[in-house]
Amino acid sequence: MNTARHNRFNTFAAHGVLILYTLIALFPVFVIVINSFKTRKAIFREPLAMPNADSFSLIGYETVLKQGDFFLYFQNSMIVTVGSLFFILLFGAMAAFALAEYRFKGNLMMGLYLALGIMIPIRIGTVAILEMMVQTGLVNTLWALILVYTAQGLPLAVFILSEFMRQVSDDLKNAGRIDGLSEYRIFFRLVLPLVRPAMATVAVFNMIPIWNDLWFPLILAPAEEVKTLTLGSQVFIGQFVTDWNAVLSALSLAILPVMALYVIFSRQLIRGITSGAVK
Amino acid sequence: MTALTLTNVCKSFGSVEVLKDINLTVEDGEFVVFVGPSGCGKSTLLRVIAGLEDATSGSVSIGGDVVNNIPPAKRGIAMVFQSYALYPHLSVRDNMALGLKQEKQPKSVIDERVNKAVQMLDLNAYVDRRPSDLSGGQRQRVAIGRAIVRDPKLFLFDEPLSNLDAALRMNTRIEIAELHRTLSASMIYVTHDQTEAMTLADKIVVLRDGKVEQVGSPMELYNNPANQFVAGFLGSPSMNFLKKVEIDLPQNGTLGIRPEQLEVVEQGRIRGRVTHVERLGGDTNLLVASDQNEVLTVRLFGQDPTEVGQSIELDFDDSSAFVFDAENQRVR
């Protein structure tokens, strides 16, 4: 058994495959970042070359920071992402707790109903959502996006979290009840800290699609003051002329916050993914 | 005064009846042990008493008050769990104090009671540690401390020793017995381990399939079991049951004889061959296959030279044998 584990060839092969995959996955990002530091001509002349003294230029970043209200877009994206994550985690965890903890009629049906959203893409309902938002006057507000993303993220969150909540010891919750803690305190103080890895997993899975989404901002909140970063970057892409410097710079900047959030969550994430498997 | 009265308590989960018509009283200061095989409903019964589950019908009264509709925290009980169930984010001191804080007790009272419990359980060195920094035995002591500080009318223990290793289990068992003597509190203790039941209890309640089989002091149950189940459950090694034996039995009846009541003799009513010998130093246990193809355990005191494969004849005193009828009830 040990020989299989210490087999040099296997180790090399495994690392080789992983390194190759990393290179392939990172290559587009790499090209975007290096080209964002080049002049327009250099981008087209030699797209894969590193920026050098000749081709180096910050014109893209300058355009981005001057034209379009980049910081506002950034702020909007941040508000929408963080707000949606907050509500997904809060309501998802609450629903999961109720499903995992309490016996009531229709518990199973309710669980299936909540999980149905995993299979049906929310974009099918776009027209209805738009009509609803128009009627409630939420069009062109960040709330419209936060609400839609919360709805979009809840099914998976409930599904994953209720599995984890079932693993939390009943004895612990009962000890809390005997000591006179309310159900809310049991939920917030005893259960939530124990499912933190699962919460981080849900957060990461939801964060990236929300941050990158173009569809709903375009339809529900296209106004200048509520544009998200992804939508804002589109001003540089025209039907006939595209300002590649600006587009690439905007994209490079857009990667940063997601990376920061990912680093925060990732330590928990690994525990979340593996904790179910090795027990 | 009675610490606990259960009247016609039933509990079902959907169509499954877990507890069937339980009637029981626990006197003040009594140590009562619920014992039975796993799945017999003993833990459910404890949870009904604690208020963690509602009884489907029947009434539960603690200290004379019917508590069916009173939440667990206000029932005047404290519970110790098998998995300790300490709050992972609180120190030992705060774990013990939380229940009193919830009751809005003044800080001086909380400190006094916590300090007393800490002294009693010898936890001085650990009060500021988190549960994760403690060993299993220490965690269980903290859990017991958390119960003591609440000064409850009734202590509930749910298999508190199951997660401890053998040596620690014995020590903790003695500690719990001493605790019972010092506090002279009413306690209910759930276990599947008959040794714990025999050594701790003033009164044992044997449960099977959600029904009370027999209630009595340990020696009453040992000397006078009401049926074959109780006879087989208490005592270690457990009682031998024989169908084919040279004695008058009722139709389809069974003879029960404890391993220590069998004697090795020159000529006896049971003949067989030794198939296994367990030498424990103090005792020797023989496993014997009789010529009627029944298996018996014989417990001999002291060290015995009998070897595996040897032919053996056994006999017993009729007055020490138990006779059970076809329904497994005792025939007296």
Query: Is the Cβ–Cβ distance between B130 and B91 less than 8 Å?
Result: yes
pTM (2 d.p.)? 0.80
Structure tokens at B43: 């833990």
How many beta carbons lie within 10 A of that of residue A79, not counting itself? 16
Instruction: Indicate yes or no: CB of A179 within 8 angstroms of CB of B79.
Output: no
What DSSP line would sit under B66-129, residue for residue?
Answer: E-TTS-GGGTTEEEE-TT----TTS-HHHHHHHHHHHTT--HHHHHHHHHHHHHHHT-GGGTTS
Mean pLDDT along residues A59-74: 82
Using the predicted structure, report yes or no on whether residue A18 has a pLDDT greater than 50: yes
Q: Which of A230, A227, A219, A213 is nearest to A128 (CA)?
A: A219
> Is A176 in CB contact (< 8 Å) with chain B?
yes
Using the predicted structure, report yes or no on whether residue B318 has a pLDDT greater than 70: yes
Most confident of A18-22, A167-171, A199-203: A18-22
> Is B79 in CB contact (< 8 Å) with chain A?
yes
Strand partners, B286: B277, B298
Q: Which of A188, A192, A189, A203 is nearest to A165 (CA)?
A: A192
Using the predicted structure, report yes or no on whether residue A265 has a pLDDT greater than 80: no
Q: What is the 3-state secondary structure (H, E, C) of A112-130?
A: HHHHHHHHCCHHHHHHHHH
> Is B76 in CB contact (< 8 Å) with chain A?
no
Residue of chain A whose Cα is closest to the Cα of B72: A178
Query: Is the Cβ–Cβ distance between B142 and B86 less than 8 Å?
Result: yes
Instruction: Indicate yes or no: CB of A178 within 8 angstroms of CB of B98.
Output: no
**Min Cα separation B52/chain A (Å):** 7
Q: Which of A233, A198, A226 is nearest to A212 (CA)?
A: A233
Instruction: Indicate yes or no: CB of B85 within 8 angstroms of CB of A177.
Output: no
Q: In whole numbers, what is the pLDDT of chain B averaged over residues?
A: 91
Q: Using 50, 70 and 90 to split pLDDT, how confident is the model at A245? A: confident
pLDDT, position A279: 34
> Is A178 in CB contact (< 8 Å) with chain B?
yes
**Min Cα separation A104/chain B (Å):** 11
In this structure, is the dihedral angle defined by the CA atoms of residues B298, B301, B306 and B311, taken in order, positive or negative? negative
Using the predicted structure, report yes or no on whether residue B30 has a pLDDT greater than 80: yes
pLDDT, position B163: 86
- Sheet with B31-35, edge to edge strand ranges: B77-80, B154-158, B186-191, B31-35, B203-208, B211-216
- Radius of gyration for chain A, computed over Cα atoms and rounded to the nearest angstrom: 23
**Min Cα separation A224/chain B (Å):** 46
Instruction: Indicate yes or no: CB of A175 within 8 angstroms of CB of B87.
Output: yes
Residue B224 CA to its chain's centroid (Å): 18
Instruction: Indicate yes or no: CB of A179 within 8 angstroms of CB of B84.
Output: no
Which residues in chain B (42-61) have CB-CB distances under 8 A to chain A? 47, 50-52
Give B316's DSSP letter. -
pLDDT, position B289: 93
Instruction: Indicate yes or no: CB of A171 within 8 angstroms of CB of B78.
Output: no
Q: Which of A172, A178, A193 sits opposite B78 (nearest CB)?
A: A178
Rounded distance between C-alpha atoms, residue A139 and residue A129, angstroms: 10
Which residues in chain A (206-245) have CB-CB distances under 8 A to chain B? none
pLDDT, position A247: 85
At B39-95, the pLDDT tens digits run 899 999 999 999 999 999 999 999 889 999 999 999 999 999 988 899 988 999 999
Using the predicted structure, report yes or no on whether residue B1 has a pLDDT greater than 80: no
Instruction: Indicate yes or no: CB of A180 within 8 angstroms of CB of B99.
Output: yes
Rounded distance between C-alpha atoms, residue B295 and residue B262, angstroms: 13
Residue of chain B whose Cα is closest to the Cα of A189: B89
Rounded distance between C-alpha atoms, residue B8 and residue A163, angstroms: 37
Percent of chain B with pLDDT over 90: 71
Q: Which residues have CB under 8 Å from A84's CB, separation 6+?
A: A145, A146, A149, A150, A153, A206, A210
**Min Cα separation A103/chain B (Å):** 10
pLDDT, position B295: 92
Q: What is the 3-state secondary structure (H, E, C) of A36-53?
A: HCECHHHHHHCCCCCCCC
Structure tokens at A51: 């920026």
pLDDT, position A277: 43
- Sheet with B283-290, edge to edge strand ranges: B263-265, B311-315, B270-279, B283-290, B295-301
Q: What is the ipTM of this complex?
A: 0.84
Instruction: Indicate yes or no: CB of A175 within 8 angstroms of CB of B85.
Output: yes
Pick the more confident residue, A3 or B283. Answer: B283
Mean pLDDT along residues A238-257: 82
pLDDT, position B20: 93
